[in-house]
Chains A and B, each alone.
Chain A
Amino acid sequence: MGRPLAQIDRVTKRFVKTGPPAIDAVTASIAAGAITGVVGPDGAGKTTLLRLMAGLLAPDEGALTVCGFDSVREIANARPSIAYMPQHFGLYEDLTVIENLHLYADLRSVDESERGGVFERLLDFTNLAQFTKRRAGKLSGGMKQKLGLACALMGAPQLLLLDEPSVGVDPISRRELWRMILELADQGIGVVWSTAYLDEAERCESVILLSEGKPVYHGPPVDFTHKVEGKVALIRNMPGDKRDVLMRAMEAPEILDGVIQGNTIRLVLNNPMAEDQLRSALSLADAEIEKVPPRFEDAFMASLGGGPKKRSPFTARPVHGAAPDEIVIKADALTKKFGDFTAADQITFSIRRGEVFGLIGPNGAGKSTTFKMLCGLLRPTSGHARISGLDFAAAPSKARARLGYMAQKFSLYGDLTVRQNLEFFAGAYGLSGKRKTAALDQAITTFNFAPYLEAQAARLPLGYKQRLALSCAVLHDPDVLFLDEPTSGVDPRTRREFWTHINAMARRGVTIMVTTHFLDEAEYCDRIALIFRGRVIAEGLPDELKTRSRREGADAPTLEQAFITLVREFDEREAI
């Protein structure tokens, strides 16, 4: 580790005079030539901390020294050495890639004579050389982030502040982003990377873990992970349904946290325990249980008191449909053309009742186009999308009545209260009279909305917003649930709670279709389809995909590695 680039000394920042501080007495140091992760649940104060370091906010108490200068009085001296990339990249969408670069070169005093070299290096570094004339608004999420990074790197800063740079970025771009950041750190730049994805925290030299503005941990991630050493176990070959097993396991007092990974279940225990002990505690006599090395996320969940212990209220609802093998969603040679460009090409798959089906793929590969055709938002150029045998083209309103839909940004009406949102969605799906009252009552009791009924949806805490969005989507008890990146940028705790409900619904026969960029989430699915260049290039169980991409002599790949291998191999085949 090099010299500290930024020194944060007992900094407190309040936005509301009387309320709790957004940043509460945080002390930390940022090293040069290293990556420092800022992690924590939503609303923990990650963005505020980064803005304080960028000199965009002044601390109420304490002091910050950045690149040797005070962050308030001497910030003008420090600015040339700081690069900051806000959460919603500071790019001008109507300017081209090269125009954005020129702007930041001007702003950061890069001489005309040097520009040729600098641009070439940055464009090469970010693989954007062939897109220089494209408008930034037309780039994919991953390319935008890379361009944002290129702009931020203009003028050779010493300190690079990145606020959740990997949200909305596909696994391939995410990997490239990391490659670039690691390279920068090697050159001696100090990088601060805030994230809700904890696999990223593991790759940092040091992390600052925040919770409600308070510093929970500051140090190397390994030391933090080490706290749950010997307490993490994997269940394989379990009898019966994995979601059943997980639900019961979570009810056991010995278990802190549990999550589905493909065909296995990962558990975090309260205390170290032998495998046999655990097997009997969970009454899983035949299952294979193996201790595994802990991950940062395990320790993170343990430090927050574990995952959701309560059963999802959806568990108690009656089961949908009798025949479990019935095909509920059918994509039949779905094709969508935008002019000359074929966004989706002969996409075919079918999803059975009660399945959780994941749609993954790089940005711009046709994943959203397929998703939109399946839920009736886009009309296919040819082919059919059927929901329980109903074609959108023939009976749009009827087909839509069968499905529930939850968008990425929890599309609630912020001005309306919780009750009014529920009533609106009940009416939109044609519920009235007794059915409506029953549906509302059920939603209110299952999610404990009673105290929040008259609160405006916009003012709800994030967790409640997500619950409300979910209950609005399922008020009419749909057969099919469409989830569009439901947990993008959401912390693991909130994500766990969300999936308890989804799992419970799948158990009672609701068919679920989900898109995600976050492949740990794809592990929750029964089957996944990998879409690339408008085609399904792989389909199967998560474990099957991993096996298919396993190479001789290598370790079992993660789903993310499998994804990258499959896409690359397809690309190579196409090239020939």
Chain B
Amino acid sequence: MKLFPSFNHSARRRMTGLIRKETVQVIRDPSNILVAVILPLILLFLFGYGVTFDPRYFNIGLVVEQATPETGSFESALVNSPYFRIEKGHDRRELEDALVAGDIKAVVVLPAKFAAVAYRGDTAPIQVIVDGGDPNTAELVSAYIERLWANWLTQESISRGQSLQPVLVNLEPRVWFNPEISSRNYLVPGSVAIILMLIGALLTALVVAREWERGTMEALLATPIGVAELLIGKLAPYFALGMISMTISVATAVFVFGVPFRGSFLVLTLLSALFMLAALGQGLLISTITRNQLLAGQLSVMSAFLPAFYFSNFVFEIGSMPLALRLVSYVIPAKYYISSLQSLFLAGNIPSVLIPDALGIAMIAGIFFILTALATRRRLD
């Protein structure tokens, strides 16, 4: 079977005819606009104004067993910290219950002997209990409390005129690319990838499967159209839809939410186009195999959407996953795309990131299209 029976004037016309038809259908179905325009705006809005992975502050409980000037001083240090919202309790039981209920993330107990042992240095004078159910938060809370404690101790020593052993090694941390450490700056680029995956894999899979279900594919196949013309004709409008959606999302991210964009728009467009091809290839492959909307929908959620969400460094760190899952992530195009997006937004055009990523996406897209071409037959049997 030749891919292009004869790519001449009439083949071009067949293709443009299909593209025109598909475009009209895309525009007429409100659910496409919903997925390509409204949903990304909602996601951007949520990431932009609400959902954040950066700890702003934590609710913690504080018990002071016996109030003294020392406990008062430490307490005000806690209250003045931007990281904590203090909820004071009368006894530790009460606050432990709040910890169990999930209302607070940690309990700090200043025991009766606090004043006596605070500066002695052998035993820890305060007790800290953190909620281990959320290890990330627990680590951060305990680190902040430790730091606060150390600072408080230094302050106290200075005010009492004591000399502490000087700290020899001083860490000078600097965060590059994203000095304000805002998760929005990497979540927003990541959500662009998720949306493109939805358009490319889910919408396309559903649409092509619907043509099989309704019998319109049978009518198309009986015309002189070639396989490649058919595929290009079907995909081009969704490709365009994806690129439009990408442009809207990026523009909103940069101009409305003030996410920096340090790379070049040309590179962004090229990479997005490549990624869109991979997503379309996957959607096409799914619908070609299933020819059924329900199955196509489930399969694209399982094989395209969820992996793009989980195995892409979008939210969860691939490096921390077990080896098997780390290996799986290599065939997830979103992993490469998100990596490049984060660089383009925050760091700029970095060839050492962009070129390998582009190659990765291109290779996966190529595999999908080869598999699709093998699975597509010009006949029904």
Residues of A within 8 A of B (CB): 15, 51, 54-58, 75-76, 79-80, 82-95, 99, 102-109, 151
> Which B residue sits closest to A60, measured CB to CB?
B381
**B137-169 interface (Cβ within 8 A of A):** none
**B176-218 interface (Cβ within 8 A of A):** 214-216, 218
Describe B's contact surface by its main secondary structure: helix
Q: Given A15-B381, A55-B379, A56-B379, is A90 in contact with B17 using a C-beta cutoff of 8 Å?
A: no
Q: Given A76-B2, A108-B224, is A103 in contact with B18 using a C-beta cutoff of 8 Å?
A: yes
Contact B20 A106 (CB under 8 A): yes
Separation of A489 and B330 alpha carbons in the complex (Å): 53
Contact A109 B222 (CB under 8 A): no
Contact A58 B379 (CB under 8 A): yes
Enumerate chain A residues within 8 angstroms of B222, measured Cβ to Cβ.
Answer: 54-56, 79, 82-84, 86, 90
Separation of A83 and B219 alpha carbons in the complex (Å): 9
Contact A57 B380 (CB under 8 A): yes
Interface stretch (choices B8-16, B100-108, B279-287, B364-372): B8-16
Query: Which residue, of A82, A88, A106, A151, has the highest number of chain B Cβ atoms within 10 A?
Result: A106
Residues of B within 8 A of A (CB): 2, 5, 10, 13-14, 16-18, 20-21, 24-25, 28-29, 214-216, 218-225, 378-381
Contact A90 B220 (CB under 8 A): yes
A and B contact pairs by CB, cutoff 8 A, 24 listed: A54-B222, A58-B381, A76-B224, A79-B223, A80-B224, A84-B219, A84-B222, A86-B222, A87-B215, A90-B216, A90-B222, A92-B216, A94-B24, A99-B21, A99-B24, A102-B20, A102-B21, A103-B17, A105-B17, A106-B14, A107-B14, A107-B220, A109-B10, A151-B219
Query: Which residue, of B10, B21, B220, B223, has the highest number of chain A Cβ atoms within 10 A?
Result: B223
Contact B21 A76 (CB under 8 A): no
Distance (whole angstroms) from the CB of A12 to the closest CB of chain B: 13
Q: Given A51-B380, A92-B25, is A79 in contact with B224 using a C-beta cutoff of 8 Å?
A: yes
Enumerate chain B residues within 8 angstroms of A104, measured Cβ to Cβ.
Answer: 223
Enumerate chain A residues within 8 angstroms of B13, measured Cβ to Cβ.
Answer: 106, 109
Enumerate chain B residues within 8 angstroms of A105, measured Cβ to Cβ.
Answer: 17
Distance (whole angstroms) from the CB of B227 to the closest CB of chain A: 11
> Which A residue sits closest to B218, measured CB to CB?
A86
Enumerate chain B residues within 8 angstroms of A107, measured Cβ to Cβ.
Answer: 14, 17-18, 220, 223-225
Contact B17 A106 (CB under 8 A): yes
Separation of A104 and B219 alpha carbons in the complex (Å): 10
Separation of A103 and B223 alpha carbons in the complex (Å): 11
Distance (whole angstroms) from the CB of A483 to the closest CB of chain B: 26
Distance (whole angstroms) from the CB of B208 to the closest CB of chain A: 13
Distance (whole angstroms) from the CB of A181 to the closest CB of chain B: 18
Q: Given A106-B14, A107-B220, A109-B10, is A88 in contact with B214 using a C-beta cutoff of 8 Å?
A: yes
Q: Given A86-B218, A95-B25, A103-B21, is A109 in contact with B224 using a C-beta cutoff of 8 Å?
A: yes
Q: Across the A-B interface, give the 9 residue pairs with the lowest CB-CB distance, nearest first.
A: A90-B219, A106-B17, A109-B10, A84-B222, A88-B215, A79-B224, A107-B223, A103-B21, A86-B218
Separation of A329 and B209 alpha carbons in the complex (Å): 44
Separation of A344 and B49 alpha carbons in the complex (Å): 54
Separation of A55 and B5 alpha carbons in the complex (Å): 15
Please tell me which one of the listed residues A76, A90, A106 contacts residue B218 in the complex, with CB atoms under 8 A apart.
A90
Separation of A151 and B216 alpha carbons in the complex (Å): 12
Please tell me which one of the listed residues B2, B16, B214, B216 contacts residue A106 in the complex, with CB atoms under 8 A apart.
B16
Enumerate chain A residues within 8 angstroms of B380, measured Cβ to Cβ.
Answer: 51, 56-57
Contact B5 A95 (CB under 8 A): no
Separation of A214 and B164 alpha carbons in the complex (Å): 103
Contact B24 A95 (CB under 8 A): yes
Enumerate chain B residues within 8 angstroms of A95, measured Cβ to Cβ.
Answer: 21, 24-25
Separation of A151 and B222 alpha carbons in the complex (Å): 12
Distance (whole angstroms) from the CB of A288 to the closest CB of chain B: 49
Distance (whole angstroms) from the CB of B324 to the closest CB of chain A: 36
Contact A57 B381 (CB under 8 A): yes
Separation of A454 and B10 alpha carbons in the complex (Å): 55
Contact A90 B224 (CB under 8 A): no
Contact B5 A76 (CB under 8 A): yes
Separation of A522 and B221 alpha carbons in the complex (Å): 38
Contact A57 B379 (CB under 8 A): yes
Separation of A104 and B16 alpha carbons in the complex (Å): 11
Distance (whole angstroms) from the CB of A194 to the closest CB of chain B: 14
Separation of A381 and B285 alpha carbons in the complex (Å): 49
Enumerate chain A residues within 8 angstroms of B219, measured Cβ to Cβ.
Answer: 84-86, 89-91, 151
Enumerate chain A residues within 8 angstroms of B379, measured Cβ to Cβ.
Answer: 55-58
Enumerate chain A residues within 8 angstroms of B224, measured Cβ to Cβ.
Answer: 76, 79-80, 107-109
Distance (whole angstroms) from the CB of A363 to the closest CB of chain B: 20
Enumerate chain B residues within 8 angstroms of A103, measured Cβ to Cβ.
Answer: 17-18, 20-21
Enumerate chain A residues within 8 angstroms of B221, measured Cβ to Cβ.
Answer: 56
Enumerate chain B residues within 8 angstroms of A83, measured Cβ to Cβ.
Answer: 222
Distance (whole angstroms) from the CB of A479 to the closest CB of chain B: 39
Query: Which residue, of A54, A58, A109, A151, has the highest number of chain B Cβ atoms within 10 A?
Result: A109
Enumerate chain A residues within 8 angstroms of B216, measured Cβ to Cβ.
Answer: 90-92
Separation of A90 and B10 alpha carbons in the complex (Å): 21
Separation of A88 and B25 alpha carbons in the complex (Å): 19
Distance (whole angstroms) from the CB of A154 to the closest CB of chain B: 9
Distance (whole angstroms) from the CB of B189 to the closest CB of chain A: 34
Separation of A51 and B217 alpha carbons in the complex (Å): 13
Distance (whole angstroms) from the CB of A144 to the closest CB of chain B: 12
For the A-B complex with A56-B218, A106-B14 known, give 5 more contacts whose Cβ atoms are closer than 8 Å: A56-B379, A84-B222, A94-B28, A108-B223, A151-B219
Enumerate chain A residues within 8 angstroms of B21, measured Cβ to Cβ.
Answer: 92, 95, 99, 102-103
Separation of A80 and B225 alpha carbons in the complex (Å): 9
Contact B29 A94 (CB under 8 A): yes
Separation of A54 and B224 alpha carbons in the complex (Å): 11
Distance (whole angstroms) from the CB of B319 to the closest CB of chain A: 45
Distance (whole angstroms) from the CB of B166 to the closest CB of chain A: 76
Distance (whole angstroms) from the CB of A203 to the closest CB of chain B: 25
> Which A residue sits closest to B16, measured CB to CB?
A106
Separation of A102 and B17 alpha carbons in the complex (Å): 7
Enumerate chain B residues within 8 angstroms of A75, measured Cβ to Cβ.
Answer: 378
Distance (whole angstroms) from the CB of B20 to the closest CB of chain A: 7
Enumerate chain B residues within 8 angstroms of A93, measured Cβ to Cβ.
Answer: 214
Enumerate chain B residues within 8 angstroms of A88, measured Cβ to Cβ.
Answer: 214-215
Distance (whole angstroms) from the CB of A46 to the closest CB of chain B: 15
Separation of A365 and B222 alpha carbons in the complex (Å): 34
Distance (whole angstroms) from the CB of B59 to the closest CB of chain A: 51
> Which B residue sits closest to A72, measured CB to CB?
B379
Separation of A91 and B29 alpha carbons in the complex (Å): 16
Enumerate chain A residues within 8 angstroms of B378, measured Cβ to Cβ.
Answer: 75
Separation of A55 and B221 alpha carbons in the complex (Å): 9
> Which B residue sits closest to A99, measured CB to CB?
B24
Separation of A58 and B170 alpha carbons in the complex (Å): 78
Distance (whole angstroms) from the CB of A453 to the closest CB of chain B: 28
Distance (whole angstroms) from the CB of A136 to the closest CB of chain B: 11
